[in-house]
Chains A and B, each alone.
Chain A
């Protein structure tokens, strides 16, 4: 345990100790004038030496202490190596709280794996949680000697792509999951809204794709240029320049798939998104505002684009227009047991500011009591 000062220059405030000393210095320079008729029998002595004398020693001492403590507060005292090595238990969300408490024991400090690490007695955290990251953080901030137990459900959610590698050997225990964990609903198929002009030849490929997704009833095709709802995918087959209303619609979060005959300045970040077997791009595109714009590079004719007739067209088109899937975050708990090869992190020193503040408050209280006591004003 090593005491140290994080801001030693703060001790310069000790110079303020002179203030209470000056306040308490007995003023000896003033001589009280006094009529004294028997003065001729007084012996003229050399002036007495000015000795430093102070009034009210106790009050002066308390005031000096107060100033010194304030200076110490500015210097930010801290202690290195004063660590709490008691065992901790981390509980992953999804674990049955009752089972977790039973497994951790009555006296262990148990925390949810959630931002801020709330105690296990509070309500279980809700919402998506970066589990791996939080475990790494807790491990890095824990003193080196403190044992750590992590209680996890059979299937972990919220892990990232990197396997846990902690600074200590961790007891990794699988506990029964909380009952009634909801199953995630399947992602619905995208809705296609085709806008075309003149010949309706390419239309059937999209209708066929929608039928393959099982979304025929949501498929719409219109000859006009009206804009569909935001969650639909706009398939723009009209040749010529794309109107500004479509561009706005995309910029506000829509997804548009343009025919090769449509004219639009593609965004700078666009690139090939779908390539045929030979490797040449079939669809290019990129983000535009908050949405995405995609464009076929070839006419929608089997002669120019044989993939239109390919059995995989529907699946490829769905991948193309669906929003990107989240990265995989589920893992079997048994397979995610952390390794213990990471180098330990040096812990920051522990600041004593709070304790010092309590001391200062006590000293201030004592000073006020002494300074305002009645006997002081009696004279």
Chain B
């Protein structure tokens, strides 16, 4: 079932270099974003040993290790960053929906790739990043860390994460509040069809987290290109509706546009920046919408 890990296409990777993760508070108290120095050491958490180089402070030499190995090693610790980037990934069954034109590319896949792009951005600027997969069976949580190892772990875990079930309920979501720090950047990737999801990010925003929401849509939801008889099945509730595509089209498009407008107003009111991503668009388009300065990639 596990598929080969997703990788970021090269042209997307090159476009990502123009971006930087910034919060509205921008350049916070202890410096969020690109740090001028990659200097390590002030933190508590051990990161790695490295060989002594001339210029290192003598007090940072691990003398016990010198006693054992007769070599100078410098003990480095993780730089504690005040702000972490969290990816909240909706893993309910509705995320498995794909366009018939490209049935192996669901919006879950697009959301995973978008999360990897965010992780790539965070890794480039040395920020910690973690993720939470939201589903009703229990959360999939990875605490924020820095570096390539975290990125690769993300790739592997995402390849195992399959969308199933309904949206997580409040009890399941409880640990989330302990993890996400007060000023963390939260990227919410979901189809935004579940009321519980919207309520969650509204509360997160009210509690001071900076929340960015990307509504993942399929091209069929945008265009409703159905002609003929269909049995529409809701993947989460299992309810179905039989109808003729052509007859349903106009009402659906009107009502769906109204629902999206209402959602937009609601998110605006909560102070949540939001955008929509439709399957088939360039995967970094939402990131350019949030963090870019120039035109969006076509």
Binding site for B on A (CB under 8 A): 28-45, 47-48
Contact = CB atoms under 8 A, between A and B. Distances in A.
B94 interface: yes
B248 A39 contact: no
Tell me the interface secondary structure of chain A in the complex: loop
A31 B252 contact: no
B135 to A, nearest CB: 15
B259 A36 contact: no
Contacts of A42: 232, 241, 243, 248, 251-252
B97 A35 contact: yes
Interface in B201-256: 220-221, 226, 228-236, 239-244, 247-248, 251-252, 255-256
Contact of B256 (A29, A38, A45): A38
Nearest to B237: A39
Contacts of A32: 228-231
Contacts of A47: 242-243
Contacts of A28: 228-229
A45 B249 CA distance: 11
A39 B229 contact: no
B6 interface: no
Given A41-B252, A42-B248, A43-B251, A35 B96 contact: yes
Contacts of B184: none
A38 B97 CA distance: 10
Given A37-B193, A43-B248, 6 more contacts: A30-B229, A32-B230, A33-B240, A42-B232, A45-B244, A48-B229
Contact of B97 (A30, A33, A37, A43): A37
B248 A33 contact: no
A39 B234 contact: yes
A36 B242 contact: no
Contact of A31 (B100, B231, B234, B256): B231
Interface in B248-298: 248, 251-252, 255-256, 259
A34 B256 contact: no
B191 interface: yes
B247 A48 contact: yes
Given A43-B251, A45-B248, A36 B233 contact: yes
B234 A41 contact: no
29 contacts: A28-B228, A31-B230, A32-B231, A33-B230, A33-B233, A33-B240, A34-B230, A34-B233, A35-B235, A36-B97, A36-B220, A37-B221, A37-B236, A38-B191, A38-B193, A38-B221, A39-B239, A41-B252, A41-B256, A41-B259, A42-B232, A42-B248, A42-B252, A43-B248, A43-B255, A45-B243, A45-B244, A45-B248, A48-B243
Contacts, number: 79
Interface in B77-122: 94, 96-97, 100
B229 A36 contact: no
A31 B242 contact: yes
A345 to B, nearest CB: 66
A48 B243 CA distance: 7
Given A37-B94, A39-B241, A45 B247 contact: yes
Nearest to A34: B230
A29 B236 CA distance: 26
Contacts of B232: 34, 36, 39, 42
Among A28, A36, A37, which residue has the most Cβ atoms of chain B within 10 A?
A: A37
Given A44-B243, A45-B248, A47-B242, A39 B233 contact: yes
A78 to B, nearest CB: 49
Nearest to B229: A31
Contacts of B255: 41, 43
A235 B233 CA distance: 114
Contacts of A34: 100, 226, 230-233
Given A35-B96, A37-B94, A37-B191, A43 B252 contact: yes
Contacts of A40: 193, 234
Contacts of A45: 243-244, 247-248
Contacts of B248: 42-43, 45
Contacts of B94: 37
A42 B221 CA distance: 11
Contact of A44 (B97, B221, B241): B241
A176 to B, nearest CB: 86
Contacts of A30: 229
Contacts of A33: 230-231, 233, 240
Contacts of B251: 42-43
Among A28, A32, A42, which residue has the most Cβ atoms of chain B within 10 A?
A: A42
Nearest to B249: A42
Nearest to B232: A36
A35 B193 CA distance: 14
A295 B128 CA distance: 144
Nearest to A32: B230
Contacts of B228: 28, 32
A28 B100 CA distance: 20
Nearest to B221: A38
Given A42-B241, A44-B241, A35 B233 contact: yes
Contacts of A38: 191, 193, 221, 252, 256
A231 to B, nearest CB: 94
A33 B235 CA distance: 11
Nearest to B220: A36
B238 to A, nearest CB: 10
Contacts of A31: 229-231, 242
